[in-house]
Amino acid sequence: MQIVEAATAVMRRQGFQQTSVEDVIHEAGLCGKGHFYHYFKSKEELGYAVLVHHFEVFAESGLAVLRDPMLPPLARLDEFIDWIVECQAESGCCGGVSPCGALATEMAEQHEGFRKHVDALFERWTGQVQALLWEARPQMVDNVDTEALARFIVATLEGALFMSRVKRDVVVLEDVATGLRRFVMSHVRADERPDAVRELVGTERSVGKESGR
């Protein structure tokens, strides 16, 4: 884990391609290559571990919100979106919270093995959101496609995270988050919408109003 955490820090700073085994050894404070190769056969194998570690950190802090049994499903989604926005704001739109962000994108372009790993991470994230939407079906319209909606939510958040990093402006993400809440609400049954409005848009907790916009 010491090696994986060191590699994650180095690769975030300079990318996978520009990171050498020597860079990781130095960052981790190891005595030499023997310790590194005792655990990892290659930099590529370490790269897989970095991807999984990055996702597990995301899952422990963020996706856990989606499984919180103390909140109804749509309220959990609301909390999750808030968490995404807050983490991006705290990082100054530099570090990012996405498990499939810039580093994962670069690694996916290196070879097929990395691409498959990143794809699997996307599927796990989408699967968690879909499970929440499936649980919320009693509140939603009869013909809702939970898989398609889950993919839309993940793709929207990923795109907004990228745009906010490029612009160094969390307001971009805040505005998209507000629009995403309204879009999800449009899939809620009309007789459930008063509750959905409070859960997904609520005037007290609207992301747009929190930003002062």
d(CA 83, CA 212): 18
Residue 110 located in a structural domain: yes
pLDDT for res 100: 58
Q: Cα(42)–Cα(129) distance, rounded to whole angstroms?
A: 34
Q: What is the CATH number of the domain that holds 111?
A: 1.10.357.10
d(CA 112, CA 5): 24
- Higher per-residue pLDDT: 141 or 60: 141
Give the residue with greater pLDDT, 106 vs 187: 187
Report how many domains make up the chain. Answer: 1
Taking every pair of Cα atoms in the chain, the longest distance, rounded to a whole number of angstroms, is: 65
* Listed range (3-7, 67-71, 115-119, 181-185) with the worst mean pLDDT: 115-119
Residue 54 lies inside a defined structural domain of this protein: no
Q: Would 41 be classed as within a structural domain? A: no
pLDDT tens figures, 143-202: 899 999 999 999 999 889 888 888 889 999 999 999 999 999 999 988 776 554 544 444
- Cβ-contact 53, 8 below 8 angstroms: yes
- Whole-number pLDDT of residue 122: 84
> Cα separation of 38 and 33, whole Å?
8
Question: What was the pLDDT predicted at 101?
Answer: 65
Range of 160's domain?
62-207
Q: Is residue 9 included in any domain, yes or no?
A: no
Nearest to residue 66, comparing CAs of 138, 142, 125, 122? Answer: 125
Q: Is residue 23 part of a domain?
A: no
Do the domain assignments include residue 142? yes
Classify residue 6: in a domain, yes or no.
no
DSSP 140: B
Fill in the DSSP letter of residue 42: S
Residue 14 token pair:
């300079």
Tell me whether residue 213 is in a domain. no
- Reported pTM: 0.77
At 55-80, the pLDDT tens digits run 787 777 777 888 888 899 999 999 99
